[in-house]
Each structure stands twice: as C-alpha cells, then as structure tokens.
Amino acid sequence: MSKKVQTDTCRTVFADNINCEKDSAICIKNVTKTFNQWQRDNTGKGLIRNLIKPEKRIITALDDVSFEVKKGEFVAYAGPNGAGKSTTIKLLSGMLLPTKGELTVLSMSPQKQRRTIMKHLGVLFGNRTELWWDHPVIQSFEWKKVVWDIPDDLYKRNLAMVTELLGLEELLKTFAREMSLGQRMRADVAMMLLHSPKVILLDEPTLGLDVEAKRQMIAFLKQLNEKEGTTIVVTSHDMDDLEEMAQRILLISKGKVAFDGDFTKLRDELECTKRAIVKFSDGNEQIIDYQNTNKLLAKLSKMDGITDVIFTQTSLEEGLANLYKKWKQ
Amino acid sequence: MEGNRLPTDRITFKRIIKLLMIAAKVDMVWLLRDTRFAIMGILGDVINNLAMVSGVFLIAVRFGGIGGMTTDEVLFMMAYSTLVTGIFMLFGSSNNIHVSRIIGRGQLEHMFIQPLPLSTQLLTNGFSPFTSSSNFIVGVILMMIAINRLEINVSAVWMLTLIAYLIATMIIIIARAYLVSSIAFYAPVAAEEITYTAIDETWLLSTFPLSGMPRFVQIPLMTILPEGLMAWFPALILLNKIQAGLLAYYPMLFALLSALTAGYFFRKGLRYYVQKGSNRYVPYGFRR
C-alpha cells in the first residue's frame, strides 16, 4: 500500500516506493503521462512561425502517480476537468502508453498483455457506446459472446443476471438507436458484464442520466461490488453519487494524487464544512461558513436582530469546488 | 511485475471462422431489418459498378477493342476488376479497409478493448456476405461469360493463377489503404477520409486498359500509382497476351513490398497513437 509522507491543505502526497501486493487489482507505480498541445495564433507572424517551427506546449496529464487498488475495492476516482482521470482509465485499458512508470491490472501489463487483460476487464466510457447502433440489444450481446469467446453456460447465467438486475427484459429486442440515454447506459453496462470481468473501469457512467436512472445504476454497481466482489473504479464529477457508491476516494489534481482515503476523512480534510444560515428580523439572511464553533458564537453575539440560526453542512460537492478553485490558484 | 497468469485464447482458424460467422449474422439481420432498403442499396451498388465498367466496355464495343485488346478481352479485364471490387466490398464493409476513418475518428479505442489482435479484428469485422456480395457475384458471372467467349481452358493451374493474382491485387489495395491511412495517426482531422481519396477516387483509372498507351503512362501506373496492377496487367498475364517471363511475378513482388512498407508505417503510426493518444472522438460510422 502507498505510504503517506506529507500532508498540506487537503493534499496527500505519496511516496515513490509504492509496493503493490501480488494480487492487487490495479497497481500504478510512478506513472507520468505527458501530451503535446499545439499552440497557434492567427496573426501573420504567428502563421509564418507555425510553418517554420510549430509551437507546442507539454501537458502533464499524470505526474508521477502511484496508487494501488485491491481486489474487491470500489474506488471513486475524482478530480476537476483535465485532472487526468480519463487518461488513467485509458492507460489501464492499454489504449495509451505511459511516458514513464509502470502499471498493472490483475498483475499484468495492459501494454504487453492487452488481450489477456481484456478477457477479465470491463471498460465503459459514459459518452460512448459499445452497442451496435442499428441492431436490437440482444444482437450486440450475441456478438460480444463470440468476440470474447464466452462459454455458453456463463453467457446464459450472466445474461439472466443482468436482464433481471438491470430490468432489460423489455429492451433486449429494442434497437440501440431507439433507446433513451438511461436505457442505453443500462444496456451498455449489461454488455460490459457479460464476460464476468474481475475489474471494471467506468468513466462517467452516470453522465446525463436522470435521477431515477442514476439511482438504478448506483444500486446495481453497489450490488455487483458487494455480491460478486468485482473491483470497480469509477470516475464522475457528481460527488454525491461517488460517495454513495464507493468506499474509497482518490482525488487527482494537476496529474497528482491529491487525496486518498474514505469520504469521512475527506470531509474532515475539506475546509469550511460547517455552515450557519442566520436570519434577521428585516427578512435578510447571512450565510457564515465556519470551522470553530466558539468563534462563530462570538460573531453571532455581536449581531443584532437575529430571529433564527440554521446549522447545516456545506455539501462535499461545494467543499470540493472550493478546493478545486484553490488548486487552480 | 508478474508475468501472464491468465490464459490468452489462441487465434485459430476455427476462431477466425466463428468471427466471420458472427459478422455474417450481424450483416444478415441488418438486411432483414429493412429488406426493401437493403435490396435498393444492393441494386445501387450493382448499377454503380456496372456503370463504371460498362463505360470502358462500350468504348471497346464501338471501336472493336482498345489498344490491341479485343472486346472480349476487355470484358475479361472488366470481370477481373469487378471481382476485385466485389472482394473489397465483401470484406471491407466496416471501414476496416477505409481504416483512416477509424483512426481519424478516434475509434481505434473501441478495438483496443476487445480481446483480439487488431489484425484479426480488421480481417473479420467487415465481412458482409449478405449486403455486399452483389459485386462479387456480378464479377463471377462476368468472368464466366468472358471465359466462355474467349474459350479459355480453365485448368487447375489457371484457376490457382487467377486466385494468386486476385490475392496480390487485394494486398496491393489494402496495403495502399493502410499506408496512406498511417497519416491519420498524425493528422486525424485532415486525413480522416484519405483512404477514400486514395482508393475510391482512383478506382476508375484501374478499369482502363493501358495497352497501346505510351511507356511514360504505363510505367507510373505500374509503380507509383499501381492502377495498372488492379486489373490490366493481371488480365494480360491470365490471357497469355504477353510473354512476361519473370515479370509475371511482378504483382506478387509489388504486393509483398507494399505490405511490408504499409506494415512498417502503420505500426509506427500505431506506436505514435498509443504514445500521444487521440484528442478526437467521433461516434458516427462506428457500428451500423
């Protein structure tokens, strides 16, 4: 497991010498991934410069990242836009090569043993579909059975399971293009699970889903993790969803792991998690975010015309928004 | 890091057949989904291809042949060209030959998550015998008519020679498609349709008999832009129109060199892709 060596404002930095357990589901060791970003301006001088020597900026998507996910864990992988979440998912699925460092999924290298890993890994990007667009859902499932070479009995068992748990009975004969986003996502998740993956990577699986579809998806993933012991890594911007699903959260910022722990610990580490809404006799109200209750009481005692004080907590989402803002600064 | 602990399934001939079968099944149900429109599409393909080859054939009929080739020999060449188009369509219906579209649209990532080598996926996933076999069937019929009219003695050796040339022609087309598609790794937006430009836009040239044309036209069309190898040169050899000697193996040699060159640049492009990634993803045209 990684070793915590330093903590600053809500940032936990991990030691380089991470030692993953032999049977870890995911192990990322000192992984760095950089991309080139071409820079162009539309001035005459800029166009000429671009012809001779195009300007490029190096973007560090992941900067010496190390962490381990044990088998059976349900991990939330969160961070602001451009933090490196999707890059990590792509590295773990063998779609990208790391610039530096090494990573394994089920003790295998995604870059060297992609085919073997894919027999045991499920990957789903919320903004993409693996379904055949102009075919009924069951046709996509049958295609997957052949491509993944899923044995008959396993296919039948998994098909029955996902049909029941995801309520797909009525959707199996429906064309993918005619389904709503929520229905399509359920069908995509079902298809991903047909080969009984040991580890699943979900990039924004609740993206664009309505409240009911989201609830259904979350309940299903929790059940999958608890009953089948499937290791799940899920990225999302919706912190409430992540908190409901996962036991552990990995926060990533500017390509570095900024926090690794459970949600209670995260709440503790976030500043301004307590809030008082003060109502006045003239109808106005004031919101005070505080950490120290004595200081708050002292402040309140100096105020006139208070009719009511409501004590609440800032949401995790709000706390993180503040944190992201701070990181940007 | 530990080594491989879980078994990888081997790509056997049986597995390839299974993958071709599921591609065929998907194709069949797509046809049955809306048979009327599928039949209209098939007829459209046939008319399009027949129009392309009949233009040259009608010129041959009007002038009693072209450049030393008789009308029936031109018909044979057109049959060969239609067969090539037919095989291209039979195995290339999912952009697996127009691969610049897959690369340019960032859709290779859908392929990376399948537990199959990319080569196996590209070989099998475009097989569509129900909706795209019309040109192949028309090609076979035209070939039979041409053989009958030319009274060719169809021996086993002749058949094998025909198959060898068809394979060489297909390799040249695919190699060309993959060679130009390698550009899409570096310029995904600009080169998304480059295969279409390189293959389909020059297809008409491959149906024209080059006999009687000056050398400065023939040589570039046998080397730089190998349209002469698409139908004309193989037809001359198969019809015994020229005593080529070792030159008869030139299409095979060209196919081999093209495949090696394309393989080198495609793999280089693929390495670039997995290092740099694709910042473009387009969902259309991925799966029908």
- pLDDT digits 0-9 by tens, A92-144: 999 999 999 999 999 999 999 999 999 999 999 988 899 998 899 999 999 99
State whether B1 and A102 contact (CB < 8 Å): yes
State whether B277 and A95 contact (CB < 8 Å): yes
Nearest to A95 among B22, B112, B279 (CB): B112
**Once rounded to an integer, what is the mean pLDDT over residues A266-282?**
79
Quote the pTM value: 0.85
- Provide the shortest C-alpha distance from residue B116 to chain A (in Å): 6
**Once rounded to an integer, what is the mean pLDDT over residues B190-213?**
88
Residues of B with CB under 8 A from a CB of A: 1-9, 15, 18-19, 21-22, 25-26, 29-30, 33, 108-110, 112-117, 274-277, 279, 281, 283, 286-288
In chain B, the residue whose alpha carbon lies closest to the alpha carbon of A142 is: B22
Take residue A74 and report the two structure tokens written for it.
């349900």
- Provide the shortest C-alpha distance from residue B276 to chain A (in Å): 6
Nearest to B277 among A96, A119, A120 (CB): A96
**Once rounded to an integer, what is the mean pLDDT over residues B208-236?**
92
State whether B33 and A134 contact (CB < 8 Å): yes
* pLDDT at B251 exceeding the cut of 50: yes
* pLDDT at A1 exceeding the cut of 50: no
The whole-angstrom separation of Cα A284 and Cα B192 is 59
Kindly give the pairing relationship between strand A248-253 and strand A74-78.
Answer: parallel
State whether A133 and B287 contact (CB < 8 Å): yes
Q: Cα-atom radius of gyration of chain B, to the nearest Å?
A: 20
* pLDDT at A239 exceeding the cut of 50: yes
Q: Tell me if A21 sits within 8 A of A70, measured CB to CB.
A: yes
AA identity, residue A188: D
State whether A119 and B6 contact (CB < 8 Å): yes
If DSSP codes are grouped into helix, strand and coil, which group holds residue B223? coil
Take residue B221 and report the two structure tokens written for it.
């069309």
Residue-wise pLDDT for A23-62, tens only, equals 799 999 999 999 888 887 888 888 888 888 888 889 899 9
State whether B113 and A123 contact (CB < 8 Å): yes
DSSP result, B127-186: --TTTS-HHHHHHHHHHHHHHHHHT----HHHHHHHHHHHHHHHHHHHHHHHHHHTHHHH
What pLDDT, on the 0 to 100 scale, is given for residue A79?
87
Chain B contact present for A119, CB below 8 A: yes
State whether B115 and A116 contact (CB < 8 Å): yes
State whether A133 and B116 contact (CB < 8 Å): no
Interface A-B, measured as beta-carbon pairs within 8 A, has a size of 105
Cβ contacts of A166-175, under 8 Å, gap ≥ 24:
A166/A190, A166/A216, A166/A220, A167/A216, A168/A137, A171/A137, A172/A136, A172/A137, A172/A138, A172/A141, A173/A136, A173/A137, A173/A138, A174/A136, A174/A137, A175/A133, A175/A134, A175/A135, A175/A136
Q: How many CB atoms lie within 10 A of CB B65?
A: 18
State whether A115 and B117 contact (CB < 8 Å): yes
Q: How far is CA B214 from the centre of its chain?
A: 27
Nearest to B275 among A97, A115, A131 (CB): A97
* pLDDT at A327 exceeding the cut of 60: yes
If DSSP codes are grouped into helix, strand and coil, which group holds residue A20? coil
Considering only CA atoms, which of A67, A102, A106 is closest in space to residue A261? A67
Residue-wise pLDDT for B35-90, tens only, equals 888 888 888 888 887 887 888 889 999 999 998 899 999 999 999 999 999 999 99
Chain B contact present for A36, CB below 8 A: yes
A113: chain B residues, CB-CB within 8 Å:
4, 8
- Provide the shortest C-alpha distance from residue A192 to chain B (in Å): 10
Query: In degrees, to the nearest 5, what angle opens at C-alpha A123 toward C-alphas B111 and A70?
Result: 135
Considering only CA atoms, which of B113, B111, B82 is closest in space to residue B95? B111
What pLDDT, on the 0 to 100 scale, is given for residue B55?
86
Chain B contact present for A71, CB below 8 A: no
Chain B contact present for A207, CB below 8 A: no
DSSP result, A65-100: EEEEE-TT-EEEEE-STTSSHHHHHHHHTTSS--SE
What pLDDT, on the 0 to 100 scale, is given for residue A30?
94
B109: chain A residues, CB-CB within 8 Å:
90, 93, 95
Q: What's the count of helices (H) and strands (E) in chain B, helices before strands?
A: 14, 0
In chain A, the residue whose alpha carbon lies closest to the alpha carbon of B113 is: A118
If DSSP codes are grouped into helix, strand and coil, which group holds residue B68? coil
In chain A, the residue whose alpha carbon lies closest to the alpha carbon of B109 is: A95
pLDDT, greater one: A287 or B170: B170
Q: What is the 3-state secondary structure (H, E, C) of B233-271?
A: HHHHHHCCCCCCHHHHHHHHHHHHHHHHHHHHHHHHHHH
If DSSP codes are grouped into helix, strand and coil, which group holds residue B230? coil
Map tokens 């693996």 to a residue.
Answer: A130
Half-sphere exposure of A307 (CA within 13 A, CB side): 7
What residue ranges do the domains of chain B occupy? 10-276
DSSP result, A265-306: HHHHHSS--EEEEEEETTS-EEEEEES-HHHHHHHHHT-SSE
* Banded pLDDT at B184 (limits 50, 70, 90): very high
A139: chain B residues, CB-CB within 8 Å:
26, 29
* Banded pLDDT at A319 (limits 50, 70, 90): confident
Map tokens 């005459």 to a residue.
Answer: A44
Residue-wise pLDDT for A149-186, tens only, equals 999 999 999 999 999 988 899 999 999 999 998 899 99
Q: ipTM for the complex?
A: 0.88
What pLDDT, on the 0 to 100 scale, is given for residue B31?
86
What pLDDT, on the 0 to 100 scale, is given for residue B278?
82
State whether B25 and A87 contact (CB < 8 Å): no
Lowest-confidence region among A230-234, B3-7, B81-85, B273-277? B3-7
A56: chain B residues, CB-CB within 8 Å:
none
The whole-angstrom separation of Cα A159 and Cα A136 is 15
Mean per-residue pLDDT over chain A, rounded: 86
The whole-angstrom separation of Cα B113 and Cα A93 is 7
The whole-angstrom separation of Cα B122 and Cα B107 is 13
Map tokens 């030959």 to a residue.
Answer: B97
What pLDDT, on the 0 to 100 scale, is given for residue A10?
35
Nearest to A133 among B8, B117, B288 (CB): B288
Considering only CA atoms, which of B84, B63, B47 is closest in space to residue B232? B84
In chain B, the residue whose alpha carbon lies closest to the alpha carbon of A101 is: B1
Q: Give the contacts of A324 (CB within 8 A, at least 6 positions apart).
A: A80, A253
Lowest-confidence region among A296-300, B3-7, B29-33, B257-261? B3-7
**Once rounded to an integer, what is the mean pLDDT over residues A49-77?**
91
What pLDDT, on the 0 to 100 scale, is given for residue A11?
36
- Provide the shortest C-alpha distance from residue A302 to chain B (in Å): 56
- Provide the shortest C-alpha distance from residue A36 to chain B (in Å): 7
* Banded pLDDT at A287 (limits 50, 70, 90): confident
In chain B, the residue whose alpha carbon lies closest to the alpha carbon of A87 is: B277
What pLDDT, on the 0 to 100 scale, is given for residue B68?
87
* pLDDT at A91 exceeding the cut of 90: yes
- Provide the shortest C-alpha distance from residue A149 to chain B (in Å): 8
B33: chain A residues, CB-CB within 8 Å:
134-135
* pLDDT at B185 exceeding the cut of 90: yes
A203: chain B residues, CB-CB within 8 Å:
none
State whether B9 and A108 contact (CB < 8 Å): no
